[in-house]
Structure 1
Amino acid sequence: MTVIVVAACPVGLRGHLTRWLLEISPGVFVGKVSARVRGLMWQRVTEMAMTGRAIMVYGADNEQGLAFAVHSH
């Protein structure tokens, strides 16, 4: 499961994310994608976010069972 939350980002980024994830609330995207797609998506998020903020939470093989990626927080 992958969750991406964006704030103060261009509308085009939100449209891009809806290709792979469901937008369950404005700026909150949830879905299940492969690690490869997740990495490419995050790369696009960091490119398109400009001065906006983004956080990605995804499943990982560690004690908490999840990991984070952060942009401009």
Structure 2
Amino acid sequence: MATMTVIATTAVSDHLRGALTRWMTEPMPGLYIGTLSARVRTELWSAVAASIGDGAALLLHPDANEQGFTLHTAGERRRTPIDFDGLTLIALNPAEPIDDETELF
């Protein structure tokens, strides 16, 4: 059964953008929305993850869990999804490592 799927991208190639627009609508630059079967979604995400380069991408689709969705990421991002007892939470990684001698307050 086909379900609503959202893919958000940052700094990806034109080739990848073209591949995504074959299956999905791009209402804003880097944001793709479509109704895809699980098989098409999996194949499309595999292509995205394999050709992400220096960019980043996020896939969001409905799933049978407490939150009602599943989140996948590819590429380097400051925000990293983590599993916390079955819930997906987002950990914000600092842009630069904090020096031990730097006062935080």
Question: Normalised by the size of structure 1, how large is the TM-score?
Answer: 0.96
Percent identity among equivalent residues?
A: 40
Deviation at 1:63, TM superposition (A): 1.1
Query: Which 4+ residue blocks in structure 1 deviate beyond 3 angstroms?
Result: none
Aligned to 2:60: 57
Aligned residues between the structures: 73
5+ unaligned residues in a row in structure 2: which ranges?
A: 78-105
SS in 1 for 2:61: strand
Partner of 2:95: none
Instruction: Return the TM-score normalized by structure 2.
Output: 0.68
**In angstroms, what is the RMSD of aligned CA positions?**
0.7
Q: CA deviation at 1:48?
A: 1.5
Match of 2:45 among 42, 46, 67: 42
Higher relative contact order (CA 8 A, sep 6+): 1
- Which structure is higher in helix share? 1
What CA distance in whole angstroms lies between the structure 2 residues aligned with 1:41 and 1:30?
A: 13
- Specify the structure having the higher radius of gyration (Cα): 2
Which structure has the highest strand share of the two?
A: 2
